[in-house]
């Protein structure tokens, strides 16, 4: 599956290389021409700012989408910690299963913390498998008692366990919710056009100035990729609420 924001650093490097090629291609094409007509310069003076404005809007919208997804992942982590903590307290409503349920919830909390910390794919699969086994054990720990004695108390405990399991699904869904590939493709395509026009319209002899636009554009693209990537980069959700819950349970 196409996923450009898997490694934010890769996005910065790729954006710099592609825009560098585009800007130097524009500069090379301009140098091959003996002279640029005044009408062409006037056209470039209109087209380049318009294209840069479009690129700015695309980056701004994409940044907003990535920031919203990052905030939602933080909210899901908080909700998941609250759901586990609430069910830990409600385990008292099933006296015969209290110790067993709380032990499973403590192990489950450890796995949920690993879900946020582990980046290796093999380790993530192991965490997902352990989480699935614990979810089955948690559900099996409350359903027999609820079926045998269907009281409002047991229904409350079952409802809390259902919230615990649902919270994990919501969190996983938010980790899969990323910027669409079309948005990345459009941003890079427009950035390439901007760099090409910038190189074509640059009349100074210094080649170093040609890197100004590629660098300015590549950095926010890297920031967007960083926020959009749940596990890699510098900006990611720290399971602070789950860590506090873990310390409390132990």
**Per residue in 69-84, pLDDT tens?**
999 999 999 999 999 9
Phi and psi at residue 200, to the nearest 5° = -70, -30
Q: In this structure, what CATH number is given to the domain that contains residue 55?
A: 1.20.58
- Residues 151, 154, 159, 160: is their CA dihedral positive or negative? positive
| Reported pTM | 0.82
- Stretches in the chain below the pLDDT threshold 50: 1-5
* Joined tokens for residue 20: 């560098």
Q: Which of 138, 147, 123, 204 is nearest to 168 (CA)?
A: 138
CA angle 168, 174, 179 (to 5 degrees): 165
* Joined tokens for residue 186: 């459009």
d(CA 246, CA 250): 6
What pLDDT is stored for residue 65 in this prediction?
Answer: 93
Cβ distance 162 to 142 under 8 Å? no
Q: What is the pLDDT of residues 205-222, one digit of tens each?
A: 567 788 888 999 999 999
Structural domain for 85, as ranges: 4-249
* Contacts (Cβ under 8 Å, ≥6 apart) of 142: 94, 97, 101, 154, 157, 158, 161
What pLDDT is stored for residue 203 in this prediction?
Answer: 64
Ordered DSSP codes for 37-106? -HHHHHHHHHHHHHHHHHHHHHHHHHHHHHHHHHHHHHHHHHHHHHHHHHHHHHGGGSGGGHHHHHHHHH
Q: Which of 99, 59, 82 is nearest to 187 (CA)?
A: 59
What pLDDT is stored for residue 154 in this prediction?
Answer: 87
Q: What are the angstrom distances between the C-alpha of 170 and each of 38, 80, 89, 113, 164?
A: 58, 9, 22, 15, 10
Q: Which of 165, 92, 83 is nearest to 132 (CA)?
A: 165
How many residues are given for the chain? 250
Q: Which of 249, 230, 246 is nearest to 74 (CA)?
A: 230
What pLDDT is stored for residue 132 in this prediction?
Answer: 95
What pLDDT is stored for residue 2 in this prediction?
Answer: 42
d(CA 65, CA 61): 6
* Total tally of structural domains belonging to the chain: 1
- Give the three-class secondary structure for 161: helix
């Amino acid at each position: 599956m196409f996923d450009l924001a898997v490694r934010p650093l890769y996005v910065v490097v790729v954006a710099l290389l592609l825009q560098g090629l585009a800007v130097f291609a524009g500069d090379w094409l301009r140098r091959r021409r003996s002279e640029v007509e005044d009408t062409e310069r006037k056209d470039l003076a209109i087209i380049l700012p318009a294209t840069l404005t479009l690129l700015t809007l695309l980056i701004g919208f994409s940044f907003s989408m990535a920031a919203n997804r990052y905030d939602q992942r933080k909210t899901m982590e908080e909700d998941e910690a609250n759901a586990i903590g609430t069910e830990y307290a409600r385990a008292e409503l099933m006296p015969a299963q209290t110790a067993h349920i709380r032990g499973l919830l403590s192990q489950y909390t450890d796995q949920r913390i690993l879900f946020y910390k582990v980046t290796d794919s093999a380790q993530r699969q192991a965490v997902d498998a352990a989480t699935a086994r614990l979810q089955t054990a948690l559900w099996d720990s409350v359903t027999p008692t609820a079926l045998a004695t269907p009281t409002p108390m047991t229904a409350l405990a079952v409802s809390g366990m259902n919230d615990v399991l649902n919270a994990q699904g919501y969190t996983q869904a938010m980790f899969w919710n990323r910027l669409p590939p079309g948005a990345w493709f459009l941003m890079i395509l427009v950035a390439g056009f901007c760099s090409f026009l910038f190189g074509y319209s640059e009349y100074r002899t210094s080649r170093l100035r040609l890197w100004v636009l590629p660098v300015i554009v590549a950095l926010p693209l890297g920031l967007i990729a960083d926020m959009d990537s749940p596990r890699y980069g510098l900006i990611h959700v720290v399971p602070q609420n789950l860590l506090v819950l873990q310390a409390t349970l132990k």
